[in-house]
Amino acid sequence: MNDTAAPPATLLLVDDDPSIIQAASRLLSDFGRCRFARSAVDALRLLRNEPVDLVLLDAEMPEMGGLEMLGLMQNSSELAEIPVVLLTSHRDEATEEAAFAAGAVDFLSKPIRPGVLKARVNTQLRLSRALAEVRRLSRTDTLTGLANRRAMQERLEREVLRADRLRTPTSVLMIDVDHFKAFNDLYGHVAGDLALIKVAECMRKAASRANDFCARWGGEEFVVLLPDTDSDGAMAVASHMHRALAELAHPHEASQQGCLSTSIGVATLVALSSQQPIESVAHSLQDRVEHLLGRADAALYRAKSAGRSRSELAST
Ligand SMILES: Nc1nc2c(ncn2[C@@H]2O[C@H](COP(=O)(O)OP(=O)(O)OP(=O)(O)O)[C@@H](O)[C@H]2O)c(=O)[nH]1
């Protein structure tokens, strides 16, 4: 009944009754790994430390019940998207309604009926995998496989918040392919698409730290986010990008360089000083992200005007 072609899942069983945990983990072992917790507090700790695909949660537990735990999960950005199936010995409509209102994806009454449990778990795992794939696709640029503009916007906002909290600098590169209209006109759109894929590969090579994040911003324009990176570091990454493209030497006879090149605008959000409280930052998160991108864009414009195939650093 379970989806045998699917990758193994991690299920978390939360119940204060060890016999339920034992029975459920035996029934569900075909789906992958079963983790268990005897209380909501232990379950929340585990969820914060390891990835879990589905939670089977007992509604009635001492100290903190399943509904309360579900409420905490729904209010946490890290945990809200993990599907939760609520298990309860109550069969009344009000309990079922309360489970769905609290954010449960399904509801099962005890005693557990093995066939029904397996079927419901199978359905929820398939749904959550499909949803994860939709989410991934909605954040990916299909041509280059890089993140898309929407994913970069979200990441930028998260990164600016993180940088404020940790008082670290953050930089962005705004990258635009030089004379790309002429490239398309000369070599055709298919060759143009292939060139964009090559540019994306060079970008990945140049911005290679684990937290560096590259996205296609639109058309032949890209943005790279460099967490924990000051302007010197960002200019160094920009140089790596120019070098990677020079080594690639992809012909572009309509450009003065003779090969594919980019112009880059670099902007850095300087770290808050230790005396500056986070609350003193006057502008909204969106305004700060826009301002940072605006500075990178203005620097990119200067790089284009100064002859292309170069980087310019935005003043702070
Ligand atoms: N092949 C291809 N071309 C694209 C894609 N997206 C945008 N373009 C083309 O990129 C070109 C961008 O042209 P412009 O904005 O005039 O800039 P440019 O020719 O690169 O000139 P500079 O930026 O000033 O160096 C346009 O011809 C777009 O059609 C794409 O996905 N594939």
CA-closest residue to ligand 1 atom 4: 219
- Contacts of residue 38, defined as CB under 8 A and 6 or more positions apart, other chains included, come to 14, 15, 16, 18, 21
Give the count of alpha carbons within 13 A of 139, CB side only.
14
Close Cβ partners of 46 (under 8 Å, ≥ 6 residues apart): 12, 35, 37, 52
In the three-class reduction of DSSP (H, G, I as helix; E, B as strand; rest coil), residue 264 is classed as strand
Question: Which of 175, 179, 181 is the best mutation target for the ligand 1 pocket, counting ligand atoms within 8 Å of the beta carbon and taking the most?
Answer: 181
Query: Cα of 70 to ligand 1 centre, how many Å?
Result: 49
Structural domains for the chain: 9-138 (3.40.50.2300), 149-313 (3.30.70.270)
Q: Is 196 in the pocket of ligand 1 (CB under 6 A)?
A: yes
What are φ and ψ of residue 141, in 5° steps? Answer: -85, 120
| 279 a catalytic residue | no
Instruction: For the chain, 316 residues long, give each residue's pLDDT as a single digit of tens.
Output: 555 577 899 999 999 999 999 999 999 999 999 999 999 999 999 999 999 999 999 999 999 999 999 999 999 988 999 999 999 988 888 988 999 999 999 999 989 899 999 999 999 999 999 998 999 999 999 999 999 999 999 999 999 999 988 999 999 999 999 999 999 999 999 999 999 999 999 999 999 999 999 999 999 999 999 999 999 999 999 999 999 999 999 999 999 999 999 999 999 998 877 777 777 776 788 899 999 999 999 999 999 999 999 999 998 7
Q: Which of 63, 159, 220, 290 is catalytic?
A: 220
Ligand 1 pocket check for 304: Cβ under 6 Å = yes
User: What sign results for the dihedral spanned by CA atoms 270, 273, 274, 279?
Assistant: negative
Say how many C-beta atoms besides its own lie within 10 A of residue 154's C-beta: 12
ipTM above threshold 0.95: no
Pocket lining: 197 vs ligand 1, CB cutoff 6 Å: no
